[in-house]
């Protein structure tokens, strides 16, 4: 297993930061040092960090731009969360948190959240409603999490694709976590931490050239204007085709601009603006062979086959958001933090989707997936953090309220015509009238949420911690629609809680047990009306919220002079009141229940000063516990691979030259809505291997080479659940050369 392999790499004494005296060597006398609990690393805010002294040791450009939440000597090891609601170091946090630092994103050439999901155990990709393959629809531990993606603690509504150029780290919090995140989060949540201004002057510019016409440029500049003012800007431009796919094109550009202001010793202000645009030709993959139950590319059809209309199909997305954060230190032990955000996301596309076909077919019919959706949100989170003692017990208490409004306006393109394509030689420019038809309004929806929460971490002594939290959400969705069947309203008040206990047998380790709940009110997915996607309609408005219960037992160890975090956890998550389509066309019901359980192992950090690793393995078992369809009971769930593995390893051969690679594995995935469908449609398991190397000419100039999918493995991201399904093909082999200048 992964954790065991890391432990076996060096003698036990070395792994625990000790040295065994050799023959003829007199050991030094023991020194007793009080073991203090590690404190979280400071947040990326100049007001929180001391100004460097004139005689401080000079830092390299890489050190100046380092992730403030990670170990500076081991950048793969993240030590603390960017969320103010997680107040202890990750080693003392009683839940699995996979924190992916920007160093991993850079080393693996991961430029989108989809790239990250492909190589993160416990996370899988899926299609959205209508087969939308372009938003980041992800599953965490087998549960749909497409609306459980957050940016700096705010829910990032809109279901659009996301870039990595402005990301400091990505925190995948596994298991139900309503007390931190709010509604949903059955399998977990993903919180993106952005690059904020620091107290160092630095900058970097990178240019990538690659196969399939890839050109990418990024810029990251931080400037300290005065002791109380810092600014940071990030820019990105990306243009590329997709390896192994005809016609598919992806152009995107964006910027992220942030300012940190310290008007006084006790007041800090951060303001940032994010802007992102995409323009491309979308890809709905290849048809499924309904006779074999697998993609037609497994039966000899070329992986490059694209079944769309290159003169018509398009994908244009936009994202804009403004965030302001004010932190006021009311006393040495009381801090008030208020955050406000406005964001708007537009998803606009017309795409051709191929339908499945049986053995003997020479043609496939096609559909016209399309959408114009404008999603906006306005929210405020206000927290009070207290540090105090009662009866000798040390508390860190976070209390707060959250108010938000989410709005969606959805339209569809009318009058689109379908064509029949050759299965083996599709025409990428079929005849059409050259006119993009008008859009027709489908529905407008508003979700208002008011929540109050409290989370307390109690330090009983140096060995024992207790963690607990409660949250109450009042949730209201109102929807006006073109059809009366989709015009509805629903109001719910849901209560959720969590509790955990941590025991530290030695200062570098923790053993914990935790329990948590969360709720999915009907209609909580903004992009949907169908019951299968969490949408609201007249025939679902009376359904009770789904309830999720999670249990976890685990251990975390800081090894190799605390430069590596190794974890192991047993987990179980159960969902009740799960919504199902009605029998024989009847109204939907809340009669489903299912369970996902398993074990997760991970290791992130350095084994030696030269050897870094980042990876993990997840083994899951899934089962339908209850269903109105008796034949579903006992089946495994759809869209859940039972085994996932990933390991990134790199070794610094010399001070200038680094060589590494990554291996990922994902098991077979079955189609279906809740349970694996009767059809047995599936996408096969796969291995993927990547290579990376870096050469540093000096501390300013470097060159990096990545080969992704070295063996050109044919594998698939997701399988659409319909009776005439299609399959999204993952990219083939690609190579990238990146030149970087830092100062």
Mean pLDDT of 464-468: 98
- Answer yes or no: is pLDDT of 144 > 60: yes
**What is the model's pLDDT at position 30?**
44
461-475 core/surface letters (b: 16 or more CB in 10 A; e: else): eeeebbbbbbbebeb
- Answer yes or no: is pLDDT of 282 > 60: yes
Give the model confidence (pLDDT) of 425-435 as tens digits. 999 999 998 99
CATH architecture of 61-428+437-742: Beta Barrel (2.40)
Confidence band (pLDDT; 50, 70, 90) for 1? very low
Confidence band (pLDDT; 50, 70, 90) for 453? very high
- Answer yes or no: is pLDDT of 688 > 70: yes
Q: Which of 533, 540, 536 is nearest to 523 (CA)?
A: 536
Give the model confidence (pLDDT) of 593-639 as tens digits. 999 999 999 999 999 999 999 999 999 999 999 999 899 999 999 88
Residue with tokens 């693996």: 108
pLDDT: which is higher, 400 or 12: 400
Mean pLDDT of 101-125: 95
The residues, ordered by sequence, that sit 6+ positions from 516 with a Cβ below 8 Å of its Cβ are 95, 175, 176, 177, 178, 179, 496, 497, 498, 499, 549, 550
Domain limits of the chain?
A: 61-428+437-742
Output DSSP code: residue 88. S
Determine the Cα–Cα distance for residues 348 and 317; give it in Å rounded to an integer: 6
Determine the Cα–Cα distance for residues 44 and 223; give it in Å rounded to an integer: 13
Confidence band (pLDDT; 50, 70, 90) for 531? low
Confidence band (pLDDT; 50, 70, 90) for 11? very low
Give the model confidence (pLDDT) of 656-683 as tens digits. 999 999 999 999 999 887 777 777 899 9
Determine the Cα–Cα distance for residues 739 and 117; give it in Å rounded to an integer: 25
pLDDT: which is higher, 243 or 130: 243
Determine the Cα–Cα distance for residues 148 and 171; give it in Å rounded to an integer: 12
Q: Is 20 exposed, middle or buried, given 0-12, 13-18 or 19+ CB atoms closer than 10 A?
A: exposed
Longest dimension (CA), the chain: 88
- Answer yes or no: is pLDDT of 50 > 50: no
Q: Which of 427, 473, 491, 515 is nearest to 155 (CA)?
A: 473
- Cα–Cα distances in angstroms (integers) from residue 641 to residues 217, 428, 668, 682, 690, in the given order: 35, 33, 6, 11, 21
Determine the Cα–Cα distance for residues 407 and 427; give it in Å rounded to an integer: 39
**What is the model's pLDDT at position 57?**
63
Instruction: Compute the radius of gyration of the chain from its Cα atoms.
Output: 26
- Answer yes or no: is pLDDT of 525 > 90: no
Average pLDDT of every residue of the chain: 90
Determine the Cα–Cα distance for residues 404 and 421; give it in Å rounded to an integer: 46
Determine the Cα–Cα distance for residues 670 and 682; give it in Å rounded to an integer: 4
Give the model confidence (pLDDT) of 323-361 as tens digits. 999 999 999 999 999 999 999 999 999 999 999 999 999
**What is the model's pLDDT at position 673?**
77
Give the model confidence (pLDDT) of 298-315 as tens digits. 999 999 999 999 999 999
Determine the Cα–Cα distance for residues 151 and 149; give it in Å rounded to an integer: 7
- Residue 638's H or E segment, with its range, is none
Mean pLDDT of 250-261: 98
């Amino acid at each position: 297993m992964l954790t065991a392999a890391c432990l076996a790499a060096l003698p036990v004494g070395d792994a625990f930061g000790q040295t065994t005296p050799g023959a003829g060597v007199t050991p030094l006398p023991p020194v007793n040092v009080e073991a203090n609990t590690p404190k979280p690393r400071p947040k990326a805010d100049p007001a929180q960090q001391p100004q460097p002294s004139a005689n401080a040791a000079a830092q390299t450009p890489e050190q100046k731009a380092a992730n403030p939440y990670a170990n500076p000597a081991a950048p793969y090891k993240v030590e603390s969360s960017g969320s103010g609601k997680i107040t202890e170091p990750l080693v003392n946090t009683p839940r699995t948190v996979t924190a992916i630092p920007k160093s991993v994103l850079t080393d693996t050439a991961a430029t989108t959240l989809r790239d990250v999901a492909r190589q993160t155990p416990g996370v899988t990709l899926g299609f959205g409603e209508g087969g939308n393959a372009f938003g980041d629809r992800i599953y965490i531990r087998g549960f749909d999490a497409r609306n459980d993606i957050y940016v700096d603690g705010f829910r990032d509504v809109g279901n659009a694709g996301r870039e990595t150029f402005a990301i400091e780290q990505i925190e995948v919090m596994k298991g139900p976590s309503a007390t931190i995140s709010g509604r949903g989060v059955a399998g977990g949540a993903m919180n993106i931490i952005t690059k904020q201004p620091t107290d160092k002057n630095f900058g970097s510019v990178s240019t990538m050239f690659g196969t399939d016409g890839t050109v990418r440029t990024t810029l990251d500049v931080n400037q300290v204007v005065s002791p109380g003012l810092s600014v940071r800007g990030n820019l990105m431009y990306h243009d590329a085709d997709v390896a192994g796919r005809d016609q598919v094109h992806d152009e995107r550009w964006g910027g992220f601009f942030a300012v940190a202001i310290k008007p006084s010793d006790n007041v800090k202000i951060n303001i940032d603006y994010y802007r992102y645009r995409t323009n491309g030709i979308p890809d709905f993959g290849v048809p499924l062979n309904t006779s074999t139950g697998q993609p037609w590319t497994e039966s000899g059809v070329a992986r490059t086959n694209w079944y769309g209309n290159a003169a018509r199909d398009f994908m244009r997305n936009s994202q804009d958001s403004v965030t302001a954060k004010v932190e006021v230190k009311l006393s040495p032990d009381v801090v008030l933090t208020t955050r406000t955000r406005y964001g708007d996301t537009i998803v606009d596309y017309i795409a051709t989707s191929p339908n499945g076909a049986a053995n003997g077919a020479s043609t496939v019919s096609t559909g016209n997936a399309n959408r114009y959706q404008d999603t906006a949100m306005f929210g405020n989170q206000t927290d009070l953090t207290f540090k105090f003692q009662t009866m000798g017990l040390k508390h860190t208490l976070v209390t707060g309220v959250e108010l938000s409004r989410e709005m969606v306006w959805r339209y569809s393109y009318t009058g689109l015509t379908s064509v029949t394509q050759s299965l083996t030689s599709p025409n990428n420019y079929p005849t059409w009238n050259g006119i993009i038809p008008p859009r027709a309004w489908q529905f407008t929806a508003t979700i208002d949420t008011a929540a109050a929460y409290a989370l307390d971490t109690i330090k009983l002594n140096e060995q024992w911690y207790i963690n607990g939290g409660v949250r109450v959400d009042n949730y209201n969705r109102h929807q006006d629609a073109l059809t009366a069947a989709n015009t509805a309203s629903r109001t719910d008040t849901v209560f959720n809680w969590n509790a955990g206990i941590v025991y530290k047998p030695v200062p570098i380790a923790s053993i914990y047990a935790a329990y948590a709940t969360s709720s999915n009110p009907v209609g909580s997915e903004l992009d949907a009306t169908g019951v299968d996607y969490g949408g609201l309609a007249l025939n679902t408005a009376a359904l009770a919220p789904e309830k999720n219960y999670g249990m976890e037992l685990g251990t975390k160890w800081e090894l190799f002079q605390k430069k590596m975090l190794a974890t192991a956890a047993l987990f179980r998550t159960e969902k009740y009141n799960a919504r199902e389509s009605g029998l024989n066309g009847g109204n939907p019901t809340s009669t489903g229940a299912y369970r996902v359980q398993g074990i997760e192992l991970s290791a992130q950090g350095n084994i030696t000063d030269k050897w870094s690793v980042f990876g993990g393995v997840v083994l899951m078992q899934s089962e339908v516990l209850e269903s109105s369809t008796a034949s579903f009971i006992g089946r495994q769930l759809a869209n859940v691979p039972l085994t996932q593995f990933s390991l990134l390893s790199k070794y610094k051969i010399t001070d200038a030259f680094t060589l590494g690679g990554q291996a990922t594995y994902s098991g077979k995935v079955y189609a279906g809505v809740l349970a694996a469908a009767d059809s047995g449609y599936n996408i096969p398991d796969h291995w993927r291997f990547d290579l990376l190397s870096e050469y540093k000419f000096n501390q300013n100039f470097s060159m990096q080479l990545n080969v992704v999918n070295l063996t050109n493995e044919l594998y698939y991201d997701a399988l659409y659940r319909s009776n005439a399904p299609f399959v999204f093909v993952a990219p083939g082999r690609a190579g990238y050369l990146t030149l970087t200048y830092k100062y």
